[in-house]
Structure 1
Amino acid sequence: MSRFVGKVAIITGSSNGIGRATAVLLASEGAKVTITGRDSARLQESKDAILKAGVSEYDINSVTADITSSEGQDNLISSTLQKFGKIDILINNAGANIPDANGKTRTEGGIDTFLKMFQLNLQSVVEMTQKIRPHLAKTRGEIVNVSSIAAGPAAQPQGPYYSSAKAALDQYSRSAAIDLISEGIRINVVQPGFVETGFSTVARGLNAEESSKFYNTMGSLPHCIPVGFCAQPEHIASVIAFLADRKASEYIVGQTITADGGSTLVLGFHANFGQKK
């Protein structure tokens, strides 16, 4: 396939997981990509994965940067323009459920943790959208924001700050989509459920073997993931690519696609009474 030939994409949070899988997919289908993350070693692993997919090194722009800093955001955009001359696609994938520095959990988490959560999961997206807007207007480009099923409507008492930030991201995305569509810029959202990236196990302090066991267990429980298995990053990357492909999804504007194997349909009452006997 070559649906992204001639396109230039920035994928934030692409040093691992969904971001890495998305960068590999877009690049393997013709896009020139800017990959970025704070960990240079893991970012190199992403670059190696893209090269392994048969992509020329010339088509990869690797930038070690903090997406929450103005300098990092500016560097992403300016280096992409310098190397590739334009920007067609922005994938705002960077995000995290940041552990509280003092070990506080749930609603007892510190306000500093709350602020950091919103800075990464929402503010960085707002700032990148503002800064990249004139460049995407020139190319009639696409923005795909990566949210989470934690955004609701089900309550998330174990992570209220993260889930609130993602819920705010969803509403911002809807509002921005209507504001920018007149300039030809499309914005849509992907809400992943459980994905085997380590995201859901880092805060629990699990090692690689324990993490794999956790995801396998979740996938085996029909009241958690009805489809019967936990998603791999590539499952979510394919949904992101669909929304980034103007030809395939042109009439989809400001919408949220939930990719969770059915998890959000079996919460609460349905967890006990909605399964086949």
Structure 2
Amino acid sequence: MLRFSGKVAIVTGSFRTVHGIESSSNGIGRAIAILFAREGAKVTITGRNIKRLEETKQMIVKNGIPEEHVLEIVTDITSGEGQNELINLTIQTFGRLDILVNNAGTGFLDAEGKTGVDQNISDLDKSINLNTRSIVTLTQKAKKYLIEAKGEIVNVSSKAAGPQASPDFIYYGMAKAALDQFTRSAAIDLIRHGVRVNSVSPGLVRTGFGETIEMSDDAFEKMVQSMESNKAYIPCGKAGQPEDIANLIAFLADRKLSSYIIGQTIAIDGGSSLIMGMQAFDMMDVLKSQ
């Protein structure tokens, strides 16, 4: 029997549309949806880009999954009405909810190119609304059904949450840091009802994130290659793939394998979070130059 047979999962987020909202239609979200479906789960995918959602559905079906095991919901994950539709249609269609993967999130660039403390405060509001508030409210609405199923929540945070500074994406980092605290606190609150909450914290991953911050494909690829070639950025020498993140999320959603992990935010970044500035240099070469 497949490990998620009989389970129902909602997967939000991983591709930003022109409205600034991500969907489970590309990148990490798509990889999660495909993996869960291949492992036997019935999956709800959501977003505002109908074409990309349909692409994701067809990719799932090509893996031999029946079409009726995939529910597409075109909606705004940050709106109360959209969240109600997401939960209600999932329950009406599949009858239960076992796994909630809160993967929707992105950064917002200042319209005038400002960074750090000078970035427009409206970008903070947008970042908190998408990366933190929507996850809190969706969790509240899913709580009843997750308690009934003794289910799992996996949030997707970011290396930008710290503890190192991230001045170029200061508001994104703040929102994700708040999400980490929500993960810890919600885990203690919900484990008494049998619901586990955990989180993953990706570093650089080859996804559509460049597009979400309005960076061209060429510019994003150049940035990725530069970071891959510098051990100060990624010690293992390569960016992550969406499937890498999806595999960790599946592990955290699998109670047989991860039952004793509660309220943790697990870094998956090729070693990036272990690096200090002084480690960017070969100390023997530095000593020889003295």
TM-score class, shorter: over 0.9
Q: Write the distance in 1 (CA, Å) between the matches of 2:87 and 2:227.
A: 38
Give the TM-score normalised by structure 1. Answer: 0.95
Larger Rg: 2
Q: Write the distance in 1 (CA, Å) between the matches of 2:167 and 2:87.
A: 37
Paired AA for residue 249 in structure 1? S
Give the TM-score normalised by structure 2. Answer: 0.91
Paired AA for residue 202 in structure 2? P
Paired AA for residue 170 in structure 1? D
Task: Quote the residue 2:2 is aligned against.
Answer: 2
Task: Quote the residue 1:261 is aligned against.
Answer: 270
CA pair 267-275 structure 1, distance change in 2 beyond 3 A: farther
Q: 1:51 aligns with which of 48, 61, 64?
A: 61
User: 1:107-256 residue pairs with structure 2 within 5 A?
Assistant: 107-200=117-210, 202-203=212-213, 205-206=215-216, 208-256=217-265
CA pair 141-268 structure 1, distance change in 2 beyond 3 A: same
Q: Write the distance in 1 (CA, Å) between the matches of 2:79 and 2:25.
A: 17
| In the alignment, structure 1 residue 60 sits paired with structure 2 residue 67 | no
The answer on whether the counterparts of 1:223 and 1:275 sit within 8 Å (CA) in structure 2 is: no
Task: Report the alpha carbon displacement of residue 226 of structure 1 after superposing the two structures with TM.
Answer: 1.1
Task: Report the alpha carbon displacement of residue 99 of structure 1 after superposing the two structures with TM.
Answer: 2.1
Q: Write the distance in 1 (CA, Å) between the matches of 2:248 and 2:51.
A: 27
Q: Write the distance in 2 (CA, Å) between the matches of 1:212 and 1:275.
A: 32
- Post-superposition Cα deviations, 1:90-140, rounded to whole Å, max 9, x if no partner, equal 000000002224443222111211111000000001001111101000000
Task: Report the alpha carbon displacement of residue 200 of structure 1 after superposing the two structures with TM.
Answer: 4.1
The answer on whether the counterparts of 1:266 and 1:274 sit within 8 Å (CA) in structure 2 is: no
Paired AA for residue 112 in structure 1? S
Q: Write the distance in 1 (CA, Å) between the matches of 2:272 and 2:282.
A: 14
Paired AA for residue 230 in structure 1? A
Task: Quote the residue 2:17 is aligned against.
Answer: none
Q: Name the count of aligned residue pairs.
A: 276
Paired AA for residue 140 in structure 1? K
Moved more, 264-273 or 222-231: 264-273
Paired AA for residue 191 in structure 1? S
Paired AA for residue 143 in structure 2? R
Task: Report the alpha carbon displacement of residue 219 of structure 1 after superposing the two structures with TM.
Answer: 1.7
- Post-superposition Cα deviations, 1:15-63, rounded to whole Å, max 9, x if no partner, equal 1111110000000110000001121111111112111221110000000
- Post-superposition Cα deviations, 1:147-188, rounded to whole Å, max 9, x if no partner, equal 001000000111110000000000111001001100001000
The answer on whether the counterparts of 2:26 and 2:208 sit within 8 Å (CA) in structure 1 is: no
The answer on whether the counterparts of 1:236 and 1:259 sit within 8 Å (CA) in structure 2 is: yes
Percentage of identical aligned residues? 54
Q: Write the distance in 1 (CA, Å) between the matches of 2:227 and 2:79.
A: 35
| In the alignment, structure 1 residue 97 sits paired with structure 2 residue 101 | no
Structure 1 outlier segments of 4+, above 6 Å: 274-277
Q: Write the distance in 1 (CA, Å) between the matches of 2:226 and 2:62.
A: 31
Task: Quote the residue 1:11 is aligned against.
Answer: 11
Paired AA for residue 51 in structure 2? A
User: 1:15-54 residue pairs with structure 2 within 5 A?
Assistant: 15-54=25-64
Task: Report the alpha carbon displacement of residue 274 of structure 1 after superposing the two structures with TM.
Answer: 7.4
Q: Write the distance in 1 (CA, Å) between the matches of 2:37 and 2:271.
A: 29
Task: Report the alpha carbon displacement of residue 204 of structure 1 after superposing the two structures with TM.
Answer: 5.5
Q: Write the distance in 1 (CA, Å) between the matches of 2:272 and 2:142.
A: 34
Task: Report the alpha carbon displacement of residue 209 of structure 1 after superposing the two structures with TM.
Answer: 3.6
- Post-superposition Cα deviations, 1:239-266, rounded to whole Å, max 9, x if no partner, equal 0000001111011000111000001111
Please, which runs of 5 or more residues in structure 1 have no aligned partner?
Answer: none
Task: Report the alpha carbon displacement of residue 272 of structure 1 after superposing the two structures with TM.
Answer: 2.5
Q: Write the distance in 1 (CA, Å) between the matches of 2:284 and 2:235.
A: 9
Paired AA for residue 272 in structure 1? F
Task: Quote the residue 2:21 is aligned against.
Answer: none
SS at match of 1:74: helix
